[in-house]
Amino acid sequence: MKRLFCTGQGQDFRYAMHANKKEAEAAFGSPARIPDSDDMRRVWQENKLHEKRPEEIQALFGITRQALSLWRIKAGTDLPNFRQHAAEQARAKVKEVLDPTWAASDIAKLADVSVDIVKEVAAEMGVVLPKKTTKKPSDDEIIRLSEGKNWRELAAACNVTVATLQHYVYANTELAQTLRERMVSEPSGAPSHGRMNDVDKMVALYQAGSSAYSIAQEFKMQPMAIIYWLKKLGIYRGAA
């Protein structure tokens, strides 16, 4: 594995990756040495490594993550890193578009940052942002909007997440039955994506008296995953 060697000072300072000191001296044409802390700070600053992701630095110098950690310590932990740089960039973007008449979520979407960063910057600048409130649709409106839609489309129409909508709907048996007759089914991904394949089938089996264990066998999943979803939908009755 190659290591970083350097030579010279001032304007003559050079550095490169070599397998050993002898190889480095042959390439430099002068005595080579392993960089000290000051050298590492210089390498870090000249390459603007704080603007690069760890994996980019590893690829640039051909080093492992462990070696990079040692570099970071040697260069000085007070030097900026990518995470700090990214945070500063995000805050700068928020300051550019911060509008006291906009809600934090709208500013976050425009600046492509998290809502928390927007709120943090606004608080520091003494800007009071309006709260964005959305009116929850009534059951009749949900039924009206559900015709011919799948869960994803209905959730978007109601301005909520799929999980939130399903939790609300399946806590109301009559509403769930009505929607089941009006909506279209669509495989919607694994539970880790926030939804579940054939969620209506799972609920129907459970409401018909099937245990979480038997449903898990049907879906080829772990019982605890089924229980998690039943709890998420607000219909879990507990162990029989």
pLDDT in tens, 152-178: 888 888 887 777 788 788 778 788 888
Q: What is the pTM of this model?
A: 0.46
3-state secondary structure of 7: strand
- Residues of the chain with pLDDT > 90, as a percent, come to 20
| Burial readout 29-45 (b: 16 or more C-beta within 10 A, e: otherwise) | eeebeebeeebbbbbbe
Please provide the DSSP assignment of 66-135 as one string: HHHHHHHHHH-TTS--HHHHHHHHHHHHHHHH--TTS-HHHHHHHHTS-HHHHHHHHHHTT--PPP---P
The yes-or-no verdict on residue 236 having pLDDT over 50 is yes
Under the banding of pLDDT at 50, 70 and 90, the label for residue 240 is low
Quick one: average pLDDT of 43-65? 89
